[in-house]
């Protein structure tokens, strides 16, 4: 046993020495990386670190942070009903718009791929534009206005489907579905671009080989040839979709108000926003942020596992 441990440490020491020697040789590399690494550490790693640290304290900016152990997490999960509403809503939005947006991104990228070149260029702009168009989604608040002059209400009333206007953005029953529609409309983003580009790069001789080997229709082609070739892009797209799905708050806050009726459109990030910016309970807000990180990273791992099975 001691023999093993000794050998293990010897190996580690040897590896470390090799690494150090290598590091000394590539001094210039570190020099090149340094500007980015420093800024990245300051504005991306350090915030996560401080977030985790503050999540164990009571901190309201004015007083110095006071250590409270797991208290924040305990009250989050056991006492804060509104947080649980937020979790439920975020979960609903993430489960529905995340995978659906992801699948739609791929589907449209794949269908667009066979269009002639110029048509394809136009189609890419059409599908991608909503996600970069700033706050154009506010136009949906006109469509779904609650009185009889809201376009959707007017249309449904004229068609005889409803006889009184529906308060689309105030009634808890309709808020989430409407937000989901808007989020889906905006979901063809960076991941979609990546898919479009990746599809164009798939080696076309593989399709020929597939044809020879008896691939019969476009669906088989998709599953056996296209998808396996697209794995790296699919993973990248998944990362982007997860970020988007769990980060929802702009759309819900702008359309349904902040706070919304019965907190029906509250998401985890809205809750974080509430505690961080309205109540200045930074410790509590940090606990929310930390939980969100954990869930996002777990989600990425899960998707990675799923993608390993594609095309087998």
Partner 1 sequence: MAKKNKEIKETKQQVHKKVLKRRKPNRSIWGDFFVYLFLVLVALAMVFPLVFAVNSALKPLDELFMFPPKLFAQNPTLDNFSDLFVTMGKSWVTFSRYAFNTVFITVVGTAGHLIICSMGAFVLAKYDFPGGKTFFNVVVVALMFNGYVTAIPNYLIINALGWVDTYWAIIVPAFAAPIGLFLMKQFMEGLPMSLIEAAQIDGASLWKIFITIVMPNVKPAWLTLIIFSVQSLWNNRAATFIYSEEKKTLVYALQQIQSGGIARTGQAAAVTVVVMIVPIITFILSESQTLETMASSGLKE
Q: What is the enclosing helix (H) or strand (E) of 301?
A: helix 282-307
Q: Which is closer to partner 1, CB of 2 or CB of 312? A: 312
Of the candidates 12, 40, 173, 306, which one interacts with partner 1 according to CB under 8 A? 40
Of the candidates 11, 42, 298, 310, which one interacts with partner 1 according to CB under 8 A? 42
Q: Which is closer to partner 1, CB of 172 or CB of 202? A: 202
Q: How many residues in the chain?
A: 312
Q: Which is closer to partner 1, CB of 6 or CB of 148? A: 148
Of the candidates 8, 10, 11, 33, which one interacts with partner 1 according to CB under 8 A? 33
- Rounded CA separation 268/266 (Å): 7
Range 248-277, binding partner 1 (CB under 8 A): 249, 269, 272-273, 276-277
- Rounded CA separation 261/250 (Å): 16
Of the candidates 11, 23, 162, 306, which one interacts with partner 1 according to CB under 8 A? 23
Q: Is the peptide bond before 259 cis (omega within 30 degrees of 0)?
A: yes
Of the candidates 68, 223, 235, 258, which one interacts with partner 1 according to CB under 8 A? 235
Phi-psi region of 36 (alpha: psi -120 to 50; beta: other; left: phi over 0): alpha
Assess 279 for contact with partner 1 (CB under 8 A).
Answer: no
Assess 179 for contact with partner 1 (CB under 8 A).
Answer: no
CB-hemisphere CA count at 13 Å for 279? 14
* Min dist. Cβ of residue 127 to partner 1 (A): 6
Q: How many other CB atoms sit within 10 Å of the CB of residue 75? A: 14
CA angle at 190 for the pair 198 and 195, rounded to the nearest 5°: 20
Assess 93 for contact with partner 1 (CB under 8 A).
Answer: no
Assess 133 for contact with partner 1 (CB under 8 A).
Answer: yes
Q: How many other CB atoms sit within 10 Å of the CB of residue 117? A: 7
* Min dist. Cβ of residue 312 to partner 1 (A): 15
């Amino acid at each position: 046993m001691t023999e093993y441990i000794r050998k293990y440490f010897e190996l580690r020491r040897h590896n470390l020495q090799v690494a150090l020697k290598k590091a000394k040789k590539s001094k210039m590399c570190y020099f090149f990386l340094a500007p980015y690494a420093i800024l990245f550490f300051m504005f991306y790693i350090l915030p996560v670190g401080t977030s985790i640290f503050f999540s164990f304290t009571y901190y309201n900016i004015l007083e110095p942070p006071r250590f409270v152990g797991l208290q924040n997490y305990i009250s989050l999960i056991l006492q804060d009903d509104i947080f649980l509403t937020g979790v439920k809503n975020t979960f609903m939005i993430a489960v529905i718009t995340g995978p659906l947006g992801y699948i739609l991104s791929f589907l449209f990228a794949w269908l667009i791929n066979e269009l002639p070149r110029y048509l394809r260029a136009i189609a890419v702009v059409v599908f991608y534009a909503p996600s970069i168009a700033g706050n154009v989604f506010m136009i949906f608040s006109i469509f779904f206005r609650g009185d009889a002059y809201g376009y959707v209400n007017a249309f449904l009333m004229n068609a005889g489907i409803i006889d009184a206007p529906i308060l689309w953005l105030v009634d808890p029953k309709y808020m989430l579905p409407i937000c989901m529609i808007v989020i889906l409309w905006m979901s063809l983003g960076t991941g979609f671009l990546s898919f479009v580009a990746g599809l164009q790069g798939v080696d076309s001789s593989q399709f020929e080989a597939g044809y020879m080997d008896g691939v019969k229709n476009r669906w088989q082609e998709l599953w056996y040839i296209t998808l396996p070739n697209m794995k790296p892009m699919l993973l990248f797209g998944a990362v982007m979709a997860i970020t988007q799905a769990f980060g929802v708050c702009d759309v819900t806050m702008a359309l349904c108000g902040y706070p919304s009726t019965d907190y029906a459109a509250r998401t985890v990030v809205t809750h974080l926003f509430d505690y961080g910016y309205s109540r200045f309970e930074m410790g509590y807000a940090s606990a929310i942020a930390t939980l969100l990180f954990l869930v996002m990273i777990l989600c990425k791992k899960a998707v990675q596992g799923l993608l390993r099975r594609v095309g087998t």
